[in-house]
């Protein structure tokens, strides 16, 4: 019998898990969690997160404001993505994924970390008792097993971690565009790495994720604003008109780390504690939210099926394996296709082929939105 679930972490995946467990019928006093501060450092709070449509559906179960219909009615919370335009810089050909062709209201949305954090924290505070965090309440001695869920932090120091260095860093910033295309997200593959411009809730404002070799990334992070904007303009092209830097610039390491989901007995890792992906497709948080949703469902079903903790964790690993491995392979491949320059024609041709093959394009889109469902 599972007596206590201890959640270690203060980020979106940890907070979402607490709320999803409540939706599965687990009582608040069975959940112990770290206290969460509402204040965030600027570099973190300003970070933009790309949420897939599947993630929005998951979050809508615990945060009504994240439902697609609510986002369309309240555009100040997040910016819907209705079109993803994918091209190879300096080459003809590309592909475009459009929500209306999939008969969907949107493909996903972009939300700032601070906004998602606030919405999750408000929901947690509404669900849990005013007396404080369950971890602070006196409890009787456990009568069953305890599960520890590590939801934040890196993947640990286990020798079983799979690490890949891409020789890149990601520059994160916000830019203002002269001619906006609301709802459009752009992914440009360059010889240095991928460059993404994502819509933000404010008109003509875009989140920039620009991957490049470490030295070049640091040069751009410290260049004067005019020089930086000119370099970005040259790389992205004239489609959105003049691009102007309008925020601080932050640099983030790009390393793929895949750790075990199950660690020592009674301990499971999800989200960033289980895996860190290349940001090329913006799928890290989406994968973590699917981890949380599947684990919550597995724990919710455990009582009615009289499952032991070992059986719960074995079932969780089985249900998450294919989705995780496919996404890791896919993001690794996308990150690798940007270089060397000799592959540019083949890369552009592959994008054009995807564009011409509608069933394949739609299958890729649904995989990115909802993951590989194994249940």
Q: How many domains does the chain have?
A: 2
Q: Kindly state whether residues 154 and 177 are assigned to the same domain.
A: no
Bridge pairing between strands 94-98 and 162-177: unpaired
pLDDT per position in the chain (375 positions), as tens? 688 999 999 999 999 999 999 999 998 889 999 899 999 999 999 999 999 999 999 999 999 999 999 998 887 899 999 999 988 877 777 889 999 999 999 999 999 999 999 999 999 998 865 444 444 444 444 457 899 999 987 766 667 899 999 999 999 999 999 999 999 999 998 889 999 999 999 999 999 999 999 999 999 999 999 999 999 999 999 999 999 999 999 999 999 999 999 988 899 999 999 999 999 888 999 999 999 999 999 999 987 778 889 999 999 999 999 999 999 998 888 887 765 555 556 656 666 666 667 777 777 777 777 886 644
**Residue 194 belongs to a domain with what CATH number?**
3.30.9.10
Residue where a domain stops, chosen among 222, 254, 286 = 254
Give domain status of residue 250, yes or no.
yes
CA–CA distance, 287 with 37 (Å, rounded to integer): 24
Q: Which residues contact 199 (CB under 8 A, 6 or more apart)?
A: 79, 80, 81, 110, 180, 182, 183, 184, 185, 206, 207
Domain that holds residue 205: 166-254
Domain membership of residue 93 (yes or no) is no
**Last residue within a domain, chosen from 201, 224, 254:** 254
Give the C-alpha distances (Å, rounded to integers) separating 362 from 167, 172, 189.
Answer: 31, 29, 20
């Amino acid at each position: 019998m599972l007596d206590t679930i201890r959640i270690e972490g203060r980020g979106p995946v940890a907070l979402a898990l607490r709320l999803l467990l409540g939706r599965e019928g687990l009582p608040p006093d069975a959940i112990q969690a770290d206290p969460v501060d509402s204040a965030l450092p600027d570099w973190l709070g300003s970070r933009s997160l790309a949420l897939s449509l599947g993630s929005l559906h998951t979050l809508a179960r615990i945060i009504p404001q994240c439902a697609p219909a609510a986002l369309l009615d309240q555009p100040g919370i997040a910016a819907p993505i209705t079109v993803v335009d994918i091209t190879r810089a300096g080459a003809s050909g590309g592909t475009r994924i459009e929500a209306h062709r999939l008969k969907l209201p949107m493909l996903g949305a972009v939300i700032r970390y601070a906004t998602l954090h606030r919405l999750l924290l408000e929901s947690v505070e509404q669900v849990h008792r005013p007396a404080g965090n369950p971890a602070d309440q006196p409890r009787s001695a456990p009568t069953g097993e305890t599960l520890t869920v590590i939801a934040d932090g890196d993947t640990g120091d286990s020798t079983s971690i799979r690490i890949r260095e891409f020789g890149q860093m990601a520059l994160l910033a916000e830019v203002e565009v002269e001619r906006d295309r609301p709802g459009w997200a752009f992914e440009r593959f360059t010889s240095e790495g991928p460059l993404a411009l994502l819509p933000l809730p404010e008109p003509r404002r875009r989140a920039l994720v620009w991957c490049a070799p470490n030295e070049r990334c640091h040069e751009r992070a410290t260049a004067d604003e005019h020089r930086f904007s000119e370099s970005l303009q040259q790389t992205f092209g004239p489609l959105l008109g003049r691009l102007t830097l309008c925020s601080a610039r932050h640099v983030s390491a790009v390393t793929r780390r895949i750790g075990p989901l199950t660690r020592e007995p009674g301990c499971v890792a999800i989200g960033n504690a289980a895996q860190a992906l290349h940001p090329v497709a913006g799928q890290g948080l989406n994968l973590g939210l699917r981890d949380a949703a599947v684990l919550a469902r597995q724990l919710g079903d455990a009582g009615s099926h009289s499952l032991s903790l070992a059986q719960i964790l074995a079932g969780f690993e089985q249900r998450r394996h294919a989705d995780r491995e496919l996404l890791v392979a896919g993001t690794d491949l996308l990150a690798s296709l940007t270089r060397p320059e000799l592959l540019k024609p083949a890369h552009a041709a592959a994008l054009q082929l995807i564009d011409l093959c509608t069933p394949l394009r739609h299958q890729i889109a649904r995989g990115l939105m909802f993951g590989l469902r194994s249940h």
